[in-house]
Structure 1
Amino acid sequence: MNQPESTSQAVLPTWVDSSLLQGMLRGIERESLRMQSNGFLSQADHPKALGSALTHPHITTDYSEALMEFITPPQDSIAKTLSYLTDIHAVVHRHLENEERLWPLSMPCMLDNEEDNIRLAQYGSSNIGRFKTLYRHGLGIRYGRRMQTISGVHYNLSFPDRLFSALQQQETDPHLRQLSAQDYRSHRYFGLIRNFIRLTPLVMFLLGASPSVCKCFMTGREHHLLPLLKGTLYLPYATALRMGRFGYQNSAQKQLGIHYNDIQGYLDGLQKAVKTPYADFSRLGLNDAQGEPTQINDHVLQIENEYYSLVRPKQVPQAGETPSEALANRGVGYVELRAVDVNPYSPIGIDESSAGFLEVLALYCLLQDSPALLDAEQEQIEQNQAEVVNRGRAPNAHIVEDGQDYQIEAWCQKHLDAMQPFAELLDQANTTQLYVQALQLMQQRIDEVDHTLSAQVIADTLTHGGTWNFGSVMAQQHAAVYEQHQLNPETQAYFDELAQTSLQQQQQLEQDTDISFDEYLAHYR
């Protein structure tokens, strides 16, 4: 369905009342590598005391067996979300074995020369478990396993239905007024997504915390990074190398042409990618010499989740649904903001100020005009992103927006000023000062570039004598915080029970397997 342009105003509409924002929900997914006491990536299995990574709702693994992922359920305040995330970290810390620690940086801890020592995540012998591991094997042969050791923070956010209902009543375009509530909500969320993509350089500048990498991460790769000191590479003015060409990027996806101008176009693009063979991946073959599968298929995407994007439209899938089917059936339910580095100074990878800033930014993106994102603008945005990733703190760094050239601080300032009333509105809705204070902290980073997280990381890496030393010091400090965190008996019992239940659920899945994995895979292929 072609959806017409919104005619909303480019400033905070006067009729938007703080009560319309009550009922916002947010959740966080935080990734962190398990690190051995010698600083190298853990080779150990996921701790059994934490339950099954396949079926546990809050503690799982991402690409590798050592890359943990902590997931909060949706909460009605930032404080509750961060508190829940802290509980998860404390639970995990209690069950780490052999003096392992959680690595606090987005870019990985020490990796040795053998890619195979980055162990793929294991999910047991059920068909779905083996499928998940095979998917990761496919990622490894397509992009290399090192790329998959990068950690991030994903911030999930939904706005209340009453806000969308009020917005729709204010529309002057008859087509938009006639959309179903579901279609209108999706239309507005896609507007948010387009604007968030336009403003990702702001996120990278203010929250970027990966200006340097351990030299081991670049093994076997050509690069333009410079030595900061022994064992550490960097770029002098970088902010978020995780978001650049050494991070989650791949050329096959660049050619997809997936756009965010409406939900149907997005879903069509995704489906095409999941069903279209890609010559480079075909050459890798589907099976090894022994006939064992090595990737799910040779398509541009093995599955939909392989599409790396800065922000995703999401809907909670029901049993048996793919993410696309969930979106097609029920529209966009929330957005996942994915351009966020792990904050190494926070024991849980994100702090209250970053969360508050992201929510103000998301509301700002939702309520602004959001014209279609066409190829020429997309190309300019990618140039802006590369500029901020590689040299965002440089005195002459600049951003081009609407054909105008801005010094980066001036561009950040322009948007931060425009976001102020949105922060005040969120403070009113939540009876707090968190949101305005979050913008005040971001203002300090614009005023003085040395206050940005990326500048602090460089300074502290120099102070401690390298990435590994800095990361280890922070990991030790964070471990002390987890140790001191008091888990109430109900929380402890809840997580103990979840661990047991998840192991039983995995066992049940393994017993219920009634077709061979070969048949299961053939059916998917």
Structure 2
Amino acid sequence: MLSKIGQLIFDNEAVAKTSDFKMGLEVESDRADETGHLSTEPYPNTIGDETTNPWITNDFLEAMSEIVTPPANNAIDAVHYLYSINTALRTALAPGEILWPLSMPPIMPKVKDKTLIAHTTPKKQKYFETWLKKHSISEGAPCGTHVNLSVRPHVIKMIYDNFQNRFESEQDVKNYLYMTMAQGFIRYRWLITYLFGASPIAEENYFDNENRPHHPVRSLRQSTSFGFGAKFFADYTNLNTYVDSMNEAVKNKTLLSTAEGQGPVRLRGDNDLNEMKKKGIQYIELRMLDLDPSSSVGIRTGTIRFLRLMASYFIMSPSIKQSEVVKTLDRANQMNDTVALEKPNECTYRVYAQSFIRQLKFFVNSIQAGPEYQEIIQDMELRVKYPELTPSGQLLGHIKNNSLVEYAVKLGRDYQDGALQALRPYREFEDNDQPTAEDLRKYLFGGSWDV
């Protein structure tokens, strides 16, 4: 059933614009050597300075590279940016070095000290050192993919013009839509973990004690017990409760800072949350995806299409009643932890998964979406019916002696060889490590595409 906003979007033939979000991608990857150990090579010299290059930087570890694409007006262009920057990074790696294709890191050294931490800005360095007072180095090593989504201005304006009795401004519309999407993605985060989780085991030296799962799981990275970051969930009832809950957590020292409480969905606007409270949300960042080893860039276009479909569904369907948000999302977080720690050949919530995907199928039919959306729904239905088709289900068959090193090294080497054969890799980082989005656009699209 469409909400009033959803019916307005449908009646004004704005479904396509609502589904085609402005998008940015961020993909973290650990650098490794061909023995499957964490790389000891420095940040590649030919891609500039790791503290100033906006498109290729490092994250928590010096050996953890992060690719950040410029915002693109559609998903296809965002993926083109990602492939190009990924190739630039790969062609800059040292001989024998690869990008580890899995979310859980390669074999880490037995002694994990501060020499592993990224060389970064003084502010970020201080945060990492403070973070390590509460966490182990291993906790900061897993990698993932972040997807940034923003709704097109045309859609915002259309909703505001037709619901001025409900919204005080266009920014008020943005806050409502982004919070509605955030609630929806957290509510069904467990399904995303099931469909795309790809971190069944950890390699040697990751765990420092016996507190570990004793069988392969769906997603170590997405579990509360073994996953990354703080064990804290903000209150997503509305923007004010989100900011207030984060500030309160810092005040009572549950969080070191609001930066630590990013959560599975991060509301983005001003970096100062109190300022964001005044200025509003500008986009959302989805942070619940493991790296997909079946793609050289860590994410498949089909995954992006499915996330876009979910986002459109949340915008156009009735939202959660405000008084029910906390209880609903708490239950969803518990479900996610169950799914994250289930065996890769299990599907604990199959009936619930089938029900939601059936709803998405009805939605696709009602908005008359194209065949590509029918295909992705069919693919997800098969993953629910056959858990062995999920990424972790497929990885299960590649585990040898409780390790994925052999598989990951071969895959990483194949992807590396493919990048080295690229006809025209982007090499301008060596002379200018701060190219603008416009510089990248001209290189990628020759000025002929509107991105």
Q: Taking structure 1 as the reference length, what is the TM-score of the superposition?
A: 0.75
What are the residue-to-residue correspondences of 1:365-444 with 2, within 5 Å? 365-370=314-319, 371-372=321-322, 373-391=324-342, 393=344, 397=348, 408-420=349-361, 422-423=363-364, 433-444=371-382
Report the secondary structure of 1:35's partner residue: strand
Report the secondary structure of 2:409's partner residue: helix
Q: Does 1:143 align with 2:135?
A: yes
CA contact (8 A) 2:108 2:204 kept: no
Residue number among 3, 9, 15 corresponding to 2:11 in the alignment: 15
Give distance in 2, aligned partners of 1:57 and 1:325.
Answer: 25
Counterpart in 2 of 1:239?
Answer: 218
Q: Does 1:67 align with 2:67?
A: no
Instruction: Note the C-alpha offset of 1:413.
Output: 1.8
Report the secondary structure of 2:27's partner residue: strand
Counterpart in 2 of 1:304?
Answer: 258
1:353 maps to amino acid: G
In the alignment of these two chains, the number of paired residues is 431
Give distance in 1, aligned partners of 2:124 and 2:210.
Answer: 27
Report the secondary structure of 1:142's partner residue: coil
Instruction: Note the C-alpha offset of 1:443.
Output: 2.0
Q: Does 1:250 align with 2:230?
A: yes
Q: Does 1:476 align with 2:413?
A: yes
CA contact (8 A) 1:353 1:441 kept: no
Counterpart in 1 of 2:312?
Answer: 363
Q: Does 1:269 align with 2:251?
A: no
Counterpart in 1 of 2:109?
Answer: 112
Give distance in 2, aligned partners of 1:474 and 1:120.
Answer: 26
Give distance in 1, aligned partners of 2:201 and 2:292.
Answer: 14
Report the secondary structure of 1:456's partner residue: helix
Instruction: Note the C-alpha offset of 1:471.
Output: 1.1
Report the secondary structure of 1:201's partner residue: helix
Instruction: Note the C-alpha offset of 1:50.
Output: 1.2
Which deviations, in whole Å up to 9, do the C-alpha atoms of 1:65-119 show, x marking residues without a partner? 1111000111123222112111111111111114211100000100122111661
Structure 1 portions without partners, runs of 5+: 1-5, 124-128, 227-233, 279-299, 398-407, 503-525
C-alpha change, 1:338 and 1:389, in structure 2 (3 Å) is same
Counterpart in 2 of 1:505?
Answer: none
C-alpha change, 1:471 and 1:16, in structure 2 (3 Å) is farther
Report the secondary structure of 1:260's partner residue: coil
Counterpart in 1 of 2:44?
Answer: 47
Report the secondary structure of 2:133's partner residue: helix
Report the secondary structure of 2:71's partner residue: coil
Counterpart in 2 of 1:291?
Answer: none
Give distance in 2, aligned partners of 1:448 and 1:64.
Answer: 36
Instruction: Note the C-alpha offset of 1:23.
Output: 6.0
The answer to which of 385-394 and 16-25 deviates more is 16-25
Residue number among 94, 99, 103 corresponding to 2:100 in the alignment: 103
Give distance in 1, aligned partners of 2:229 and 2:210.
Answer: 14
C-alpha change, 1:311 and 1:425, in structure 2 (3 Å) is farther
1:250 maps to amino acid: A
Instruction: Note the C-alpha offset of 1:475.
Output: 0.6
C-alpha change, 1:194 and 1:23, in structure 2 (3 Å) is closer
Instruction: Note the C-alpha offset of 1:19.
Output: 4.8
C-alpha change, 1:424 and 1:75, in structure 2 (3 Å) is farther
Instruction: Note the C-alpha offset of 1:500.
Output: 6.9
Residue number among 179, 183, 192 corresponding to 2:172 in the alignment: 183
Residue number among 273, 283, 286 corresponding to 1:334 in the alignment: 283
Give distance in 2, aligned partners of 1:197 and 1:76.
Answer: 25
Report the secondary structure of 2:101's partner residue: coil
CA contact (8 A) 1:104 1:347 kept: yes
Instruction: Note the C-alpha offset of 1:21.
Output: 2.6
Report the secondary structure of 1:442's partner residue: helix
2:227 maps to amino acid: G
2:286 maps to amino acid: L
2:75 maps to amino acid: I
Give distance in 1, aligned partners of 2:59 and 2:307.
Answer: 23
Which of 1 and 2 has greater Rg? 1
Instruction: Note the C-alpha offset of 1:221.
Output: 4.5
1:471 maps to amino acid: A
Give distance in 2, aligned partners of 1:392 and 1:323.
Answer: 40
CA contact (8 A) 2:35 2:409 kept: no
C-alpha change, 1:312 and 1:388, in structure 2 (3 Å) is same
2:329 maps to amino acid: Q
C-alpha change, 1:433 and 1:59, in structure 2 (3 Å) is farther
CA contact (8 A) 1:41 1:118 kept: no
Which deviations, in whole Å up to 9, do the C-alpha atoms of 1:402-439 show, x marking residues without a partner? xxxxxx222122222222365568985xxx64433322
1:73 maps to amino acid: P
Counterpart in 2 of 1:449?
Answer: 387
Counterpart in 1 of 2:427?
Answer: 492
C-alpha change, 1:143 and 1:465, in structure 2 (3 Å) is closer
Residue number among 86, 104, 108 corresponding to 1:89 in the alignment: 86
1:417 maps to amino acid: R
Which deviations, in whole Å up to 9, do the C-alpha atoms of 1:117-172 show, x marking residues without a partner? 6611112xxxxx1121121122222111101000010011111122233334555x
CA contact (8 A) 1:427 1:433 kept: no
Cα RMSD after superposing both structures: 2.8
Give distance in 2, aligned partners of 1:248 and 1:160.
Answer: 32
Give identity over the alignment, percent.
Answer: 23
1:114 maps to amino acid: V
Instruction: Note the C-alpha offset of 1:180.
Output: 1.0
Give distance in 2, aligned partners of 1:417 and 1:326.
Answer: 40
Report the secondary structure of 1:52's partner residue: coil
Q: Taking structure 2 as the reference length, what is the TM-score of the superposition?
A: 0.87
What are the residue-to-residue correspondences of 1:125-204 with 2, within 5 Å? 129-169=121-161, 171=163, 174=165, 176-177=166-167, 179-204=168-193
Report the secondary structure of 2:108's partner residue: coil
Residue number among 460, 465, 473 corresponding to 2:398 in the alignment: 460
